[in-house]
């Protein structure tokens, strides 16, 4: 698009902010669909209001910037640029035309098992990169997983590292953060935790992909923890259980184990453990 056609939009750096496509629930950031002024490339610009961040969130932002600037992986949202302006920091990342996984599930309901397997494979590949950099995401949920598009070769992208932290082997984190429906019980119960909390979130996402709803609920965090700890059988939809491969059910059980010692340590090759006898359309 020619620059004179972009003149009606607010510009930051080399980008014209064309439309707002997201905002954090705590109003700490806004995400814009934007366009590079000279190349015309469409990107997403995350505007972080630094003056609203406490010490902990500033540390998370540093972790996000350091990690994203050092990786280039198809299943991690790509950072193109970052710069300060107007008491904010702007992060320029790739634009994902497919929206987020939460919107996709709300629109289409549960996904075929083969699709869940492919998504899990891509999520595992992205998490392997986090693990190799000693990064815990701490807010994995469908809203923070983006889709490059809606065609057959769609790529899943792990995004929004605003609560991430660096954690080396043998160390533990204590800060309670994340989204309750996807938080591991040890986080909800104010216990120390390590990288396995991301695996719990993976289990919750896999369950929601297969069923169309999260595995646990509660009026508040106390009831949510109680429901998790008292659960003897995951609430799989009876409409899908007969068709699910037993190994797929077993994977959900392992990932959503309240005993973190039993939780799958890392998703490397997880998708290979969820065979599907009859291939189904990807999307």
Catalytic residues: 139
- CA separation for the pair 103, 192 (Å, rounded): 32
Q: At what angle do helices 113-132 and 196-211 cross, to 10 degrees?
A: 160
Strand partners, 48: 29, 89
Angle at Cα 136 formed by Cα 131 and Cα 139, nearest 5°?
135
| Cβ proximity of 189 and 197 under 8 Å | no
Q: Rounded CA gap, 267 and 122, in Å?
A: 10
Query: With contact defined as beta carbons under 8 Å apart, do 112 and 245 qualify?
Result: no
Q: Are 156 and 123 in contact (CB under 8 A)?
A: yes
CA distances to 219, 235, 238 from 6, rounded to whole Å, are 46, 50, 52
The two three-digit tokens of residue 160, written as one number: 């929004």
CA dist., res. 55 & res. 72, Å (int):
28
Residue whose C-alpha is closest to residue 198's, from 282, 141, 125: 141
The closest of 223, 162, 171, 222 to 192, measured between CA atoms, is: 171
Phi/psi zone of residue 138: left (φ > 0), alpha (ψ -120 to 50 degrees), beta?
left
* CA 78/CA 75 separation, integer angstroms: 9
């Amino acid at each position: 698009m020619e620059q004179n056609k972009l003149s009606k939009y607010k510009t930051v750096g080399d980008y014209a902010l064309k439309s707002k496509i997201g905002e954090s629930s705590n109003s700490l950031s806004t995400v814009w669909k934007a366009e590079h002024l000279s190349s015309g490339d469409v990107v997403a610009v995350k505007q972080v209001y630094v003056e609203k961040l406490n010490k902990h969130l500033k540390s998370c932002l540093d972790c996000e910037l350091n990690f994203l600037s050092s990786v280039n992986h198809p299943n991690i949202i790509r950072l193109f640029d970052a710069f300060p302006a107007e008491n904010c920091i702007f992060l320029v990342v790739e634009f994902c035309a497919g929206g987020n996984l939460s919107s996709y599930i709300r629109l289409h309901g549960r996904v075929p098992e083969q699709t869940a397997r492919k998504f899990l494979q891509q999520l595992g590949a992205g998490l392997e990169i986090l693990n190799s950099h000693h990064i815990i995401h701490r807010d994995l949920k469908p809203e923070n997983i983006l889709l490059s598009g809606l065609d057959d070769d769609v790529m899943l992208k792990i995004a929004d590292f605003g609560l991430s932290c660096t954690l080396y082997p043998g160390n533990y984190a204590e800060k309670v953060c994340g989204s309750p429906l996807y938080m591991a019980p040890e986080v909800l119960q104010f216990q120390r935790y390590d990288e396995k909390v991301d695996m719990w979130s993976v289990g919750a996402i896999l369950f929601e992909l297969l069923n169309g709803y999260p595995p646990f609920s509660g009026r508040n965090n106390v009831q949510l923890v109680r429901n998790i700890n008292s659960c003897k059988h995951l609430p799989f939809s009876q409409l899908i259980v007969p068709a699910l491969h037993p190994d797929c059910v077993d994977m959900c059980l392992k990932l959503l184990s309240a005993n973190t010692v039993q939780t799958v340590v890392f998703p490397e090759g997880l998708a290979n453990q969820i065979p599907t006898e009859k291939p189904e359309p990807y999307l």
